């Protein structure tokens, strides 16, 4: 895309600090200690070596005693009581009650059960002494953002109603679950419960009143499949992918008649997002759309909830849940918290820029974020996904499944995602992704990302980020012009995209790339990736300069390298890549010793991806209404040279193995703008510095002809 996308920053506005009392724990029955001024009878002077030694010993003993006293274990059980002391014999009933008293070094052990609450710790842990929340060990612990509803009455055929005025999160933010599975808000055309492959209508024509980007206007859409009478869709919400279908947005229908409707919307990019024929869309937010099983509608005026369950069953014979809370844990302004081995349902974990040293380990999180109304698809209405902001935090060994936006959101500095599976994200078809990365010095590694409406991993306004040894496939399912690993508007400052396996990334429009350095993406090192079966294996859109693309396998794609517009790639180097197809770089690029291979070796990074068992993923639901969507594939199913997700203990090769260059000093066909001496110097340097971050030396070599590394 040649235009500059007006992607407004989506950082946190820090919340005001929650006040908390400075509690001091005292061992039961221990006398209170009194202190006095130096020299008083309560504080003897250390006037002699013996006195000083006695005082030092006393200080050490008091420190050890304090450490012992402050390392308390608290217990929580669904059968406990918040009037209990939180001991093993008399546990609390809610996690929040334990969070009210837990302090640095404490552990909260949670008995099996579902806890329908949002936990806000009263205080932070400390470096080396975090507060830890984890299961007791007697079964699954789930923190749910949903509440059970019942008392349904049959109103019409298979439709049942009840009143749900207590759990209203606002238009588009409500969710209904039947037996743990999200069903659809009533819509036209109806679709299955496969969120990543929705059924959409297609506009025969769509004629807007053209205005500048950011202004509100109207457009008239025509579709002969709109057979409802005049006024039927008035006041409904339209969700539409306009123009190039980069992202979806919502608007409000102001007039409707047989075969057409007029809606009001906010204009996104001009001309690329102008409404036009072929736009994909659906309609919701009106009771008349409730016409199929697996749907619900909530009357915003009365709070009446109407539901048609999958299989047309009586809702009171099923477990019906309504989303009631956004967060499982709210860790704003909290640091040094460990959350381990806990399941999340219909809720996420929130942090802000003052949340440091957070560890999220072994989470099983489903339906982490929900929204359906977004007037500008480039700017989601809220930050979504599991959120790690602040610094020095990690998400690891976890499964994140189902989000209208991001699966994981990183901001701040030096946070990381490691060994996670992230799937079924951005089903709203906005600018969400499996993992979104902002900030400085982030790391995303050893993870598997698939089934995303847009990008797998997006790097935006982030420098020094490393994306290593990930498996990314089947993304860009609903939008166009994005990538498996996508960067935009960022000086990478030596950021590294390496040892990743990316495949099956396609879209309409301008296509999709396995690795995509979009406008203003500079100073990235892209190396040792295996990319196949994409519209473009690697794509750079101008101005994207001074990038080093080396030692990659670029195979079985529309083209190994793509670009657009002026095609300028000033200062970028393509070196020692294996490819098939036609490799053509843009002006200003240097092409050095790349190798054509009719059948490239796709197994070079067979260890990429998460070491998490397949059973951790909830299968894509069987469609309950027609038409049947494209089935969601499992990892490695029916794909050329797939990279299966290993199971725990399968013995993944050591991370970042020493790469062996097959390029000899005399193998220089296609060399452009680099002297043989410079190339020999680079090869010698690379041979002895392969494990280092070699960005600066690489580019010094290539931008200073004649330089020889000492």
Concatenating the DSSP letter of every residue in 525-553 gives EEES-EEEEESEEEEE-SS--S-EEES-E
How confident is residue 59, by pLDDT bands cut at 50, 70 and 90?
Answer: very low
Average pLDDT, stretch 74-103? 98
pLDDT digits (tens, 9 = 90+) for 187-245: 999 999 999 999 999 999 999 999 999 999 999 999 999 999 999 999 999 999 999 99
Q: What is the dihedral of CA 195, 197, 201, 203, to 10 degrees?
A: 120
pLDDT band at 606 (very low <50, low <70, confident <90, very high): low
18-45 mean pLDDT: 31
* Pairing of β 394-396 and β 359-361: parallel
Q: Tokens in use for 342?
A: 């806990």
Q: Work out the average pLDDT over 489-496.
A: 92
pLDDT digit string, tens, across residues 381-418? 999 999 999 999 999 999 999 999 999 999 999 999 99
Residue 126's DSSP bridge partners are: 129
3 state SS of 95: helix
Q: Is the confidence at residue 159, as pLDDT, over 90?
A: yes
Joined together, the tokens standing for residue 548 give 């080093």
Determine what percent of the chain falls in helix, strand and coil, rounding each to the nearest 5.
10, 35, 55
Split at pLDDT 50, 70, 90, the class of 662 is very low
Which residues are 176's β-sheet partners? 183, 322
Q: What is the pLDDT of residues 532-552, one digit of tens each?
A: 999 999 999 998 899 999 999
Q: Which residue has the tokens 């001074």?
A: 546
For the chain, give every domain's residue range.
167-311
How do residues 115-152 score in pLDDT, each as one tens digit?
A: 999 999 999 999 999 999 999 999 999 999 999 999 99
Q: What pLDDT is attached to residue 134?
A: 98
The percentage of residues in the chain with a pLDDT greater than 90, rounded to a whole number, is 69
Assess whether pLDDT exceeds 90 at residue 568: no
Nearest to 332 by CA among 15, 21, 10: 15
pLDDT tens per residue across span 296-315: 999 998 999 999 999 999 99
CB atoms within 10 A of CB 51: 12
Task: Please tell me the distance from the alpha carbon of residue 271 to that of residue 101, in angstroms, as a whole number.
Answer: 57
Provide the pairing of β-strand 578-579 with 107-110. Answer: unpaired
Cα-based distances in Å from 158 to 149, 152, 189:
18, 12, 19
Asked if residue 271 has a cis previous peptide bond (ω within 30° of 0), the answer is yes
């Amino acid at each position: 895309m040649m235009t500059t996308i007006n992607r407004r920053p989506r950082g946190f506005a820090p919340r005001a600090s929650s006040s908390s009392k400075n509690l001091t724990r005292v061992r039961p029955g221990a006398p209170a200690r009194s202190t006095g001024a130096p020299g008083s009878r309560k504080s003897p002077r250390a006037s002699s070596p013996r006195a000083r030694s006695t005082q030092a010993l006393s200080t050490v003993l008091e420190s050890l005693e304090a450490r012992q006293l402050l390392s308390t274990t608290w217990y929580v059980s669904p059968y406990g009581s918040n009037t209990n002391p939180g001991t093993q014999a008399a546990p609390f009933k809610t996690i929040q009650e334990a969070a009210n008293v837990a302090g640095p070094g404490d552990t909260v052990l949670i008995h099996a059960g579902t806890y329908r609450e949002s936990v806000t710790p009263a205080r932070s842990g400390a470096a080396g002494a975090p507060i830890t929340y984890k299961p007791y060990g007697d079964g699954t612990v789930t923190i749910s953002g949903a509440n059970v509803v019942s008392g349904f009455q049959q109103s019409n055929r298979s439709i049942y109603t009840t009143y749900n005025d207590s759990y209203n999160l606002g238009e588009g933010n409500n969710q209904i679950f039947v037996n743990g599975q999200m069903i659809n808000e009533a819509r036209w055309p109806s679709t299955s419960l496969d969120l990543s492959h929705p059924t959409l209508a297609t506009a025969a024509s769509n004629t807007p009143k053209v205005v500048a980007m950011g202004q509100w206007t109207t457009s008239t859409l025509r579709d002969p499949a709109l057979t409802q009478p005049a006024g039927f869709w008035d006041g409904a919400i339209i969700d539409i992918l306009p123009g190039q279908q980069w992202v979806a947005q919502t608007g409000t229908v102001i007039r409707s008649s047989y075969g057409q409707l007029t809606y009001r919307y906010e204009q996104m990019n001009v001309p690329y997002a102008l409404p036009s024929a072929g736009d994909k869309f659906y309609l919701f937010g009106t009771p008349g759309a409730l016409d199929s099983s697996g749907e619900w509608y909530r009357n915003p005026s009365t709070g009446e909830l109407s539901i048609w369950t999958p299989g047309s069953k009586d809702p009171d014979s099923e477990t019906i849940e309504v989303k009631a809370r956004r967060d499982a844990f709210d860790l704003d302004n909290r640091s040094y918290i460990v959350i381990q081995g806990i399941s999340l349902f219909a809720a996420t974990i929130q942090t802000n820029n003052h949340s440091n040293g957070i560890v999220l380990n072994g989470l099983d999180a489903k339906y982490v974020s929900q929204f359906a109304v977004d007037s500008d698809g480039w700017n989601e209405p809220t930050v979504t996904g599991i959120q790690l902001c602040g610094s020095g935090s990690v998400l690891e060994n976890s499964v994140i499944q189902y989000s209208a936006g991001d699966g994981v959101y990183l901001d701040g500095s030096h946070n990381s995602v490691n060994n996670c599976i992230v799937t079924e994200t951005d089903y709203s078809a906005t600018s969400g992704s499996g993992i979104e990365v902002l900030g400085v010095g982030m790391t995303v590694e050893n993870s598997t990302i698939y089934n995303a409406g847009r990008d797998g991993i997006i790097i935006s306004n982030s420098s020094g980020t490393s994306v290593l040894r990930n498996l990314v496939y089947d993304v860009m399912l609903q939008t166009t012009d994005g990538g498996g690993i996508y960067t935009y508007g960022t000086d990478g400052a030596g950021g590294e995209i390496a040892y990743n396996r990316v495949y099956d990334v396609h879209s309409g429009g301008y296509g999709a790339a396995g690795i995509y350095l979009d406008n203003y993406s500079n100073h990235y090192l892209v190396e040792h990736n295996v990319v196949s079966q994409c519209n473009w294996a690697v794509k750079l859109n101008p101005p994207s300069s001074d990038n080093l693309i080396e030692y990659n396998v670029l195979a079985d794609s529309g083209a190994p390298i793509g670009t657009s517009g002026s095609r300028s790639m000033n200062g970028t180097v393509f070196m020692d890549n294996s490819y098939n197809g036609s490799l053509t770089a843009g002006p200003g690029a240097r092409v050095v010793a790349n190798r054509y291979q009719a059948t490239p070796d796709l197994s070079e990074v067979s260890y990429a991806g998460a070491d998490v068992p397949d059973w951790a993923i909830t299968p894509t639901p069987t469609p309950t209404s027609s038409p049947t969507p494209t089935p969601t594939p499992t990892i490695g199913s029916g794909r050329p040279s797939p990279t299966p997700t290993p199971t725990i203990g399968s013995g993944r090769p050591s991370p970042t193995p020493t790469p062996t260059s097959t390029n000899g000093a005399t193998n220089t066909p296609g060399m452009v703008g680099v002297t043989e001496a410079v190339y020999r110097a680079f090869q010698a340097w690379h041979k002895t510095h392969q494990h280092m971050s070699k960005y600066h030396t690489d580019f010094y070599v290539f931008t200073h002809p004649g330089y020889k590394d000492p």
